[in-house]
Amino acid sequence: MHLSDRQPEVAPARLVAELVPPPRFADARFETYRPDPNEPSQAAALAAVRAFAERLSAPPPRKGLFRRAARTPEQKPGIYLDGGFGVGKTHLLTSLWHAAPQPAGYGTFVELTHLVGALGFAGTVDALGTLRLLCVDEFELDDPGDTVLVSSLLTRLVERGVALAATSNTLPDKLGEGRFAAEDFLREIQALSARFDAVRVDGPDYRHRDAVEPPAPLDEDTVAERVAAHPAASIDDWPTLLAHLASLHPSRYGALLDGVEAVGLTGLAPVGDQNTALRVVVLVDRLYDRSLPVFASGRPVDAIFPPEMLAGGYRKKYLRALSRLTALAREGATR
């Protein structure tokens, strides 16, 4: 099967229904998080997120019309986990989702922007405004328009009593620094920062603790053989797949992988432009969410983003994608 032959359609209702933790983290719980003893911030982050979950689960006041537990003045409506790649932020965020009273929502920053595109701003506020908690993984402010959009959305949700939890790789009061010189948006960034208690999570990327280097590329015959051994595997020529991604809205990339259990890619090569690179980031996130091993030929997987892109404003986004794609390629190399 070829991903480039698929034209999935995704109804808005599916986008809302899929606001749950990805399959890779289906079993994540506070009890299964293992703080690195050499990184005290990890144990501290675990304690902070547990305390946040307990506050959400506290019974509401007996009197009044408020359906959620009252906050003391110093308690903020959100918790923000900041740290590098692979330090367990998503594990903690997913554990919070499981421990929190329902209904709760869970999605990436990109998925939220896609939801607004499908439902409209007011429709998204209505769809999410009944939640007790909204978890936002991989918070990004690479685009000024998305900065205002998501800041406004979360502000409206907080006004409706929705608690917030988020992860990112930049402290909230530093969001946007080095990405775009737009002082008009600084006020939006600072206002958003004020809604979160920031918790730092330090440590090395667990995905690469045992092997830093990506696996050597496979030859095309090996990719074909491994795909043939998996009845639910796909295989695509890299340039053809990139062209196909350009024809689909990124909100459909998850559906593109429906029923797929492994992915073969031949002729891997560096992407040629920023728009293509950002589409690849979304695809890699969807592959990683589903724990799909990757069989790849061509250039090594850590060479798909040229050096000038890795030095630019989207650097952290690309590095996260490389971390995840390397892990998937390592899984594929052992199959």
pLDDT in tens, 158-167: 999 999 999 8
Contact 242, 271 (CB under 8 A): yes
Instruction: Give the 3-state secondary structure of residue 5.
Output: helix
Quickly tell me which residue has 């496979």 as its tokens. Answer: 218
Residue 323's pLDDT is 87
Instruction: Give the 3-state secondary structure of residue 314.
Output: coil
Chain CA centroid to CA 235, Å: 24
Instruction: Give the 3-state secondary structure of residue 61.
Output: coil
Going from the C-alpha of 84 to that of each of 90, 221, 235, the distances in angstroms are 11, 37, 32
Note the helical H segments in 74-143. Answer: 89-99, 109-119, 121-128
Beta bridge partner(s), residue 201: 83
Going from the C-alpha of 170 to that of each of 51, 138, 156, 309, 334, the distances in angstroms are 22, 10, 23, 18, 33
- 12-204 is a CATH 3.40.50.300 domain: yes
Residue 65's pLDDT is 40
Residue 26's pLDDT is 87
Looking at the chain, the domain(s) classified CATH 3.40.50.300 span 12-204
d(CA 243, CA 245): 6
Helix axes 121-128, 109-119, angle to 10 degrees: 120
pTM: 0.79
d(CA 128, CA 154): 10
Residue 245's pLDDT is 97
Helix axes 121-128, 144-159, angle to 10 degrees: 40
Residue 335's pLDDT is 72
Quickly tell me which residue has 């308690």 as its tokens. Answer: 75
What's the token pair of residue 134? 């909204």
d(CA 256, CA 88): 27
- 279-280-281-285 Cα dihedral, nearest 10 degrees: 110
Q: Could you say which residues of the chain have pLDDT below 50?
A: 63-70, 72-73, 178-182, 184-185, 207-211
d(CA 23, CA 284): 14
Q: Percent helix, strand, coil in the chain (nearest 5)?
A: 50, 15, 40
